[in-house]
Amino acid sequence: MRPIRSFGRTRSRPLSRNQAELLESNLASLLVPNDIRLDFVPIELMPSAKEVWVEIGFGGAEHLIKQAQNNPDVLFIGAEPFIEGVAKAVKEIEVHGIKNIRLINADVRPFLNCLADNTLERIFILFPDPWQKSKHNKRRLINKSFVEDLVRILKPAGKLRFATDWADYANKALAVFLGNKDLEWGAEVATDWQTPKPDHFTTRYETKGLGDCKPMFFDFEKISPDLAR
């Protein structure tokens, strides 16, 4: 069975001529192959990389681009089904000559399901679609099964960051994360989740303040086997 779609539309207005031409000439070389095998080790996409980090739903690509520039020895895999966001990423990759980004212009879940266990060092999920109406909550990306999938592909001591500016989503997602015995949340005081970590880069969506609360940032770490509870 296909998972419930967790994102809305994949395009709005038509791309500009320049955007369309840039995608036509550059996108194919940046895309992760859609025929990867089961138990795929993603560092094969860039063997010289020291680590592999994934951003799920990179939006306008502000965070993805900055992280890649600041960590040139890390392979970044950015997934975004919205074509305008992908066009922005491709433009910035071209303008800045970035070599350590690969893109997925589709639902990321089939790709994640193909990855071998313990193959990612970091995962970012920043301000995913909140599906704030109660009847739409089932479409939210964060659920027990999905978190189990993320934990499976994270390496021991791997890190996962989730951010949202919707209070209900924050509460329910936090409960799901804390319900996974293999994740540890090191927060001790409110400022630990009310203040972004120094390595966070603000996104365009974040600055719009469209949610019903201030942004909240939850950082988790996969527990190493020798520290398992």
Active-site residues, by number, are 129
Torsion (CA) 115, 175, 58, 48 in degrees, nearest 10: -40
Spatial contact of 123 and 96, defined as CB atoms under 8 Å apart: no
SS3 135: helix
Which token pair is 49? 């990389």
CA angle 204, 54, 136 (to 5 degrees): 65
Q: How far apart are CA 155 and CA 76, in angstroms?
A: 16
What is the C-alpha R_g of the chain? 17
Residue whose token pair is 């951010």:
163
